[in-house]
Amino acid sequence: MGENTRAVHLPQPPPPRQEPIGLPVWRSASWASSGDHADVTDADVADNPTVDAFAAAVAALEGAAAPEDVAGQAFSSGMAAITGTLLTFLGNGSHVVALAPVSGATHKLLTGVLSRFGVSADFVDHADLLGVRAAIRPTTKIVYAETLATPTMAVADLRGLYQVARQAGALLVVDSTFATPVVCRPLEHGADLVIHSATRYMGGHDDCVGGVVVGRPDLVAKVRQTRIDTGSALSPDDAFLLRRGLESLPLRVRRMCSTAMVFAASLARHPRVRRVDYPGLPTHPGHQTARHLFDSGPEGTRFGAVVTLTPHGGFAAGAALTDRLRTAAVAPSMGGTHTKAVHLASVARSGDALSGVDAGAVRFAIGLEDAEDLIADVTQALDALGSLPRART
Ligand SMILES: Cc1ncc(COP(=O)(O)O)c(C=O)c1O
Q: What is the pLDDT along the chain (393 residues), one digit of tens a residue?
A: 999 999 999 999 998 999 999 999 999 988 887 666 656 666 666 689 999 999 999 999 999 988 889 999 999 999 999 999 999 999 999 999 999 999 999 999 999 999 999 999 999 999 899 999 999 999 999 999 999 999 999 999 999 999 999 999 999 999 999 999 999 999 999 999 999 999 999 999 999 999 999 999 999 999 999 999 999 999 999 999 999 999 999 999 999 999 999 999 999 999 999 999 999 999 999 999 999 999 988 888 999 999 999 999 999 999 999 999 999 999 999 999 999 999 999 988 655 555 678 999 999 999 999 999 999 999 999 999 976 555 444
Which atom of ligand 1 is the closest one to the Cα of 102? 1
Architecture of domain 49-247: 3-Layer(aba) Sandwich (3.40)
CA 209 to ligand 1 centroid distance, Å:
10
CATH node for 249-387: 3.90.1150.10
Which atom of ligand 1 is the closest one to the Cα of 146? 1
- Tell me, what's the pLDDT at 35? 64
- Tell me, what's the pLDDT at 297? 87
Enumerate the CATH 3.40.640.10 domain ranges in the chain, comma separated: 49-247
Residues with CB under 6 A from ligand 1: 77-79, 103, 105, 146, 175, 177-178, 197, 199, 209, 211
Which atom of ligand 1 is the closest one to the Cα of 332? 14
- Tell me, what's the pLDDT at 33? 75
Enumerate the CATH 3.90.1150.10 domain ranges in the chain, comma separated: 249-387
- Tell me, what's the pLDDT at 36? 62
CA 332 to ligand 1 centroid distance, Å:
11
- Tell me, what's the pLDDT at 40? 63
Closest residue CA from atom 12 of ligand 1? 197
Closest residue CA from atom 10 of ligand 1? 78
Which atom of ligand 1 is the closest one to the Cα of 199? 10
CA 197 to ligand 1 centroid distance, Å:
5
Q: How far apart are CA 80 and CA 73, in angstroms?
A: 11
- Tell me, what's the pLDDT at 296? 82
CA 291 to ligand 1 centroid distance, Å:
25
- Tell me, what's the pLDDT at 393? 46
